[in-house]
Structure 1
């Protein structure tokens, strides 16, 4: 993504502060960012903050002669590879839909010949108002990519759709826009992520420390290359990546059923840390009575990876994960042979990998082992998905 140029328009709204994190993600991803700050946006973030993060001057006024002499609004609107509006307020989108150009932001939006991506943010009632619904439909018909807002509590005290998508989700949408050739277009990729929870009684369960971050990162990377992604997720508190179909489950049996229902797939990447055993769950809470607890009766869960490897609907490329605490490569190579999959991604989880933001993995195949340096989990995901795209060509 190096040398791609983003023109970021920061609209007026409490969510404008999230534009700072979006700029950080874009700069870290190798993008050049120039910012236009609306009068409303300037009530929430300052030009100095955006300039420091973007490392470029911030444009605020159509009538600033110095800026017009150095870079007129026509040039500013056309030198970018993508125009991003975050937050895109109801007022700003209404002006866009009507073709109004009464300030720098709306003028360059009318003058640009480049793709435009809008990330809405507003009160739930404003988002659901007939005028906004009409304006969004018009913008989409005009070719503007309008993301769906998140749902949740708002600064005004109400709850519902209208929250600005998280910066990571906007960043993923930008990545998707720039995906090189959409290398995975037309491919269905099935991914599992997170832990499973196996009930012991109505209030207790068997679980593990998996956060789901690596699986969600892989789902985002696959979607960014044009794949149709189905993500079967255990109980985790993570936002669904843009363009991904998410199926939430709790137990290993539910995960197995969801995978079977999602087939066929071109690729399956089983990242989830599935519990090997489940309990014969009690119908009511097990109480302490002062005596030693009765032994917990355990039943073996189905081996999802091996079952999928032997299935008539076996994906063209089947990838498992091996989270180990010792003899990582020995265990991974044995698992590759035992399970019948194509690749194993092995990692040492004896430290803070589960729940952490970085990972160091080994790609184990029938022909050898490729060890990768420690990377952010999204970078691991991008690298893995790139390898998958190469393998499918």
Structure 2
């Protein structure tokens, strides 16, 4: 499993705030909590604290220059990103937050974050007016939607003499946020997760097909969240434009039968299977060769039932004695919870997750979702969140399945 970690470790990014001196206490307390700590400074941070300080505290090299190579021939920002359990940026200035939120990588710290699949914790520290600046607010919202944990800031006096929200959170609060993110990052370490994603296209002729509006965004979010939590990930995907995360094995298919065949091949060794694909229930009985011409006022299509992809996977695993957990997705209208409960029982899955297709602000094609979890221990609702946040929420519950 490339990129996974065997012991808890933190990359602590320190940016150029007066509060940078508190990062020394943070590094010390993270080490007391059991983490190996490596520190990455921005150029501005070194105006306030020295790399020698952190090297003495942590016993590890400190990075600053993107062209540094502590180990000859190895790219430090890639190595450090791969080896960390979690990346913590504290203090995070307005400048650094905006760069992180909008995906800029112009120094060692921001480049390292871009190269990381691991959970990100940011602890803002800045003037209260800067904290409410529209660009900072948008950057923080983008970071949250992409799964980052934002710790603070606290209310209080800041370095410029003003009072308000902008003070770096307490070291204890940042350590707790890091511990929570680290636990999440290893929740699925050593486990293999199989995800079906996207639509299926059932051909009518060489041009037209029977399909649906699934974008694959939820499946991609699940794959990314699973990688963030340490899992080995396989995705069997219908035709979509979304990008799946680096490190995930992706098998691309078109039809329901092809999805079933590929998923059966990926099933052995999977501890969890999530059926997030919107599989076409029916397909044309016969595919016409070439392109059908518009020579008739009416055409009749005979449709036949497609195989039940997830149901077949459940039966295969149970018959083979595999200890695999299964989660189904159900696209239902707002009053469809009763139907979803029946589906959970009839399919034999461990849990079913419902997304409301009667709403235009969540579900197919959108960046947000709102999920209802129906499992053996009861039901829960995610609330409206980004699809990545929903995916993290779902996988935390999946880890609790008996």
TM bin, normalised by shorter chain, reads: 0.5 to 0.7
Structure 2: unaligned runs, 5 residues or longer:
1-7, 17-38, 85-109, 121-146, 148-177
Q: Specify which of 50, 72, 93 is matched with residue 72 of structure 1.
A: 50
Q: 1:184 to 1:287 in 2, by over 3 A?
A: same
Q: Specify which of 298, 304, 307 is matched with residue 299 of structure 1.
A: 304
Is the 2:219–2:276 Cα contact (8 Å) retained in structure 1?
Answer: yes
Structure 1: unaligned runs, 5 residues or longer:
10-32, 38-57, 100-108, 110-115, 120-139, 148-164
Is the 2:218–2:388 Cα contact (8 Å) retained in structure 1?
Answer: yes
Give the TM-score normalised by structure 2. Answer: 0.60
Q: 1:331 to 1:283 in 2, by over 3 A?
A: same
Q: CA RMSD in A?
A: 3.8
* Per-residue deviation, 1:219: 1.4
After TM superposition, the structure 1 = structure 2 runs for residues 110-125 of structure 1, keeping only pairs within 5 Å, are 118-119=77-78
After TM superposition, the structure 1 = structure 2 runs for residues 52-67 of structure 1, keeping only pairs within 5 Å, are 58-59=44-45, 67=47
- SS for the counterpart of 1:369 is strand
Q: 1:303 to 1:144 in 2, by over 3 A?
A: closer
**Alignment match, 1:380:** 390
Give the TM-score normalised by structure 1. Answer: 0.61
Is the 1:169–1:242 Cα contact (8 Å) retained in structure 2?
Answer: no
Name the CA distance, whole Å, in 1 between partners of 2:63 and 2:227.
19
Q: Specify which of 221, 242, 251 is matched with residue 255 of structure 2.
A: 251
Q: Specify which of 274, 281, 285 is matched with residue 287 of structure 2.
A: 281
Is the 2:188–2:230 Cα contact (8 Å) retained in structure 1?
Answer: yes
* Residues 245-290 of structure 1, C-alpha deviations (whole Å, 9 max, x = no match): 111111111110011001222111100111111122111100001x
Q: Specify which of 338, 341, 344 is matched with residue 336 of structure 1.
A: 344
Q: Specify which of 370, 373, 380 is matched with residue 363 of structure 1.
A: 373
Is the 1:179–1:226 Cα contact (8 Å) retained in structure 2?
Answer: no
Name the CA distance, whole Å, in 2 between partners of 1:249 and 1:283.
20
Is the 1:189–1:227 Cα contact (8 Å) retained in structure 2?
Answer: yes
* Per-residue deviation, 1:242: 3.0
**Alignment match, 1:43:** none
**Is 1:271 aligned to 2:276, yes or no?**
yes
Q: Specify which of 115, 126, 130 is matched with residue 170 of structure 1.
A: 115
Name the CA distance, whole Å, in 1 between partners of 2:332 and 2:231.
30
* Per-residue deviation, 1:299: 1.7
Count the aligned residue pairs. Answer: 280
Name the CA distance, whole Å, in 2 between partners of 1:283 and 1:83.
63
